[in-house]
Each structure stands twice: as C-alpha cells, then as structure tokens.
Amino acid sequence: MLVVDDTPENLELIFNLLRPHYRVLLANDGRTGLRMACQEPRPDLILLDIMMPELDGYDVCRQLKADPATAKIPVIFLTARSQIEDEEKGFGSGCVDYITKPISPPILQARIATQLALKTTSDQLRHYNEHLVAEVERRTREVQMVQDVTIMAMASMAETRDNETGMHIRRTQHYVRTLAEHLRRQPRFAAILNDEFIDILFKSAPLHDIGKVGIPDAILLKPGRLDVAEFEIMKHHTRLGMETIAAAERLLNVPSSFLEVARQIAYGHHEKWDGNGYPEGLAGEAIPLPARLMAVADVYDALISKRIYKEAFPHDQAVAMIQAGSGSHFDPTVVEAFNAKSETFRTIAQRFQDE
C-alpha cells in the first residue's frame, strides 16, 4: 500500500490504521509518490491526497494512468475537498474511489478491501487472457506449420514425378513473392498485393503443378521432347490441378483465399498474355494476377534448369528470353517487375540450387 500525502499527521494516521494488515509505504509529495509507484514490487493500491504543493493529486493520478507500468494500480483519493465537482474531477483523472476527510477507519478498511478484491479478480482475468492468447498463437503456429509441411509434401510429390526437385518449388515461391512485393509499389496493385495476399501467394505457389500426379508416367517421365499428342495429354495437368483444389474447396465448404489463389495458379499459369496459352486461351488481364506472376517465375526457372531434353540456359540469356516474351507470352507489367528484380532472381536461384 502506498500512501501519498504532504501532511505528516495524515501519513502517521493512515500508517497506523493500515500497518496491522498491509505493508505500507509513505511519500510526502507527488513526485516522490510517482517514483515509488514505479519501484518493484509495485504497490497494489495507492491512497492519494489531492491538495499537495507542486504536483497535486489530480496530476499524480493522471500520470499514473498514463504510464503502462502503473496504469493498472487502483487509486483512492483521501481528501478534505468534498465538493461534487472535486469528486467528478477525481474520477475523471482515473481514481476508483473518492473518500473525504475526516476518515472513518471502518469505511476506509472496507473500501480498500473491496478495491483489492476487484484488483485480484482483474489481475487473474488478465493473466488468464494473456495465457489464452499465447496458447491460441502457439496452436495457430502449429497448424500453420503442419499446413506448410503438408503443402510442400504434396507439391514435392508432383515435382519428383517430373524429374524435378523440391528446390524448384522453393525457387518459384521466392520468385513470385519478389515480383509481388515489387508490383505492390504501383497504385493499381497496392490494394490487392498486401502482406496477407503476398503470404497466400507464397504458400500456394508450390501447388502450381499438383495436377502432374495425374499424368501417365510414360509421358511425364519421357526422356525427350513430347510429340503433339503427348503434349495435349500433358497440358491436361492444369485442369487436373484445378479440379483437385476445387474439390478441396467443396469439402471445406467455406471460402478460402489460399485455395482460391492456388486454383488460379494451377489452372492459369500456362495461359499467355496474347491468348495463345492453355487451357482456356485467356488473354490479358482475364488471366488472374497470381497465374501471370507464376508464368514468369515458372518459365524463368525452367530456362535456367537442366532437363533431359535441354541444357540449362545462363541467367542473362534466360532474362533476355523473358524480355522477348513481354506482351506475347507474359504480362508486360510483370516483365517490367522481373527486369527490375532479375538480380534477385539470380540470387534466389543460387541460394536454392538443385542438389
């Protein structure tokens, strides 16, 4: 218990009343009271006079409530000021009770006990809520980790069947995020490409070729280029991927931004800006933005990666080929972002090299 009063007689009176029940600290002015309130262990309750020199009780109470370290400490005014406006000002400054002098010891003890009981309950509730929030955050992180690992496992299953590696998944994830973070600087993309959406893009990108699990091995693992008929079957992986993710959406039965973006990427990342892509032959901005970002990311990675039917292209040559596809294969705005961040692409490719 901290008692703040500039009159020695009042301090002695309150000290003698409270000493049998509480550990009592005394301060003979407002500034000393503020300093003592911040010391550990902090008081559980403060009894505060109003009429004090330099810093009156109202100012002391307001400063206590403005400081997060002392804001939760209940303050009871003990004062000779008995006017209604004085009491209103006291409650306005943040006190929990207002007792006028001369003090009735039983009433003072009862009101102190009431405020301490309220504080104990409030502290317990706050600690419980803090524990609950921490537990929810822990379990949310756990669920997200399981989700991320599951996504990577599913995507890796598709990639390894195509003689590719999990590093392709990692690289394309980071390529897509790099493009999105650059494009968000433009006013027309700022609203959609917020932190949450970019995080969804990053997490859903690995599922871009999930439909390959439905392509026959004779085509998927062919040690050479596909003929026309085989390529038609290979192109079907976009529809298989879309149908798989759409089925998951129906099972979930509630809207999911993650699954929606994953479906757009899986189905649309082989569409071309000029309408000559597949599976729908969409053109321009009819192609969803996530798919347009993945188109550049996926083609760049295919160009710099060695395949059974080709050698890896050097970074500079791959950049030139992406630039040449601007306005035909790729969204020109996305290619501009790629040009600006091509060195970041090179760094990502080096960081996540195939083993």
pLDDT, tens digit, for every residue of 39-50? 999 999 999 999
DSSP 55: S
Model confidence at 306: pLDDT above 80: yes
CATH of residue 60's domain is 3.40.50.2300
Do 52 and 180 lie in one domain? The reply is no
Model confidence at 304: pLDDT above 90: yes
pLDDT tens figures, 227-283: 999 999 999 999 999 998 888 888 877 778 888 999 999 999 999 999 999 999 999
Q: From the centroid of its chain, how far is CA 50? A: 45
Model confidence at 144: pLDDT above 60: yes
Is the pTM here over 0.75, yes or no? no
In a domain, 145, yes or no: no
Lowest mean pLDDT among 99-113, 116-130, 161-175: 161-175
- Mean pLDDT, range 186-205, rounded to an integer: 93
* 334: amino acid identity, one letter: V
Cα separation values, 18 from 4, 100, 148, 192, 251, Å: 14, 17, 59, 62, 65
pLDDT band at 88 (very low <50, low <70, confident <90, very high): very high
Do 117 and 196 lie in one domain? The reply is no
What's the pLDDT score for residue 69?
92
In a domain, 52, yes or no: yes
Model confidence at 165: pLDDT above 60: no
pLDDT band at 160 (very low <50, low <70, confident <90, very high): low
In a domain, 135, yes or no: no
Count of domains forming the chain: 2
Cα distance between residue 352 and residue 23, in whole Å: 63
- Mean pLDDT, range 208-219, rounded to an integer: 87
In a domain, 93, yes or no: yes
In a domain, 149, yes or no: no
Please provide residue 70's backbone torsions phi and psi, each rounded to the nearest 5 degrees: -125, 0
In a domain, 136, yes or no: no
3-state secondary structure of 4: strand
At which residue do the structure tokens 């997200």 appear? 144
3-state secondary structure of 100: strand
Do 198 and 126 lie in one domain? The reply is no
Q: What is the 3-state secondary structure (H, E, C) of 229-244?
A: HHHHHHHCHHHHHHHH
Do 76 and 205 lie in one domain? The reply is no
What's the pLDDT score for residue 137?
86
Model confidence at 161: pLDDT above 60: no
Do 56 and 120 lie in one domain? The reply is yes
pLDDT band at 147 (very low <50, low <70, confident <90, very high): low
In a domain, 148, yes or no: no
Do 226 and 304 lie in one domain? The reply is yes
Do 207 and 328 lie in one domain? The reply is yes
Last residue of a domain, one of 107, 130, 153: 130
What's the pLDDT score for residue 155?
66
Contacts of 50 (CB under 8 A, 6+ apart): 56, 57, 58, 77, 79, 81, 86, 90
Do 176 and 306 lie in one domain? The reply is yes
Cα distance between residue 309 and residue 318, in whole Å: 17
CATH of residue 258's domain is 1.10.3210.10
In a domain, 147, yes or no: no
Q: Which domain holds residue 309?
A: 162-351
CB 103 within 8 A of CB 3: no
Lowest mean pLDDT among 13-22, 142-151, 273-282, 323-332: 142-151
Lowest mean pLDDT among 153-162, 201-210, 265-274: 153-162
- Mean pLDDT, range 146-158, rounded to an integer: 64
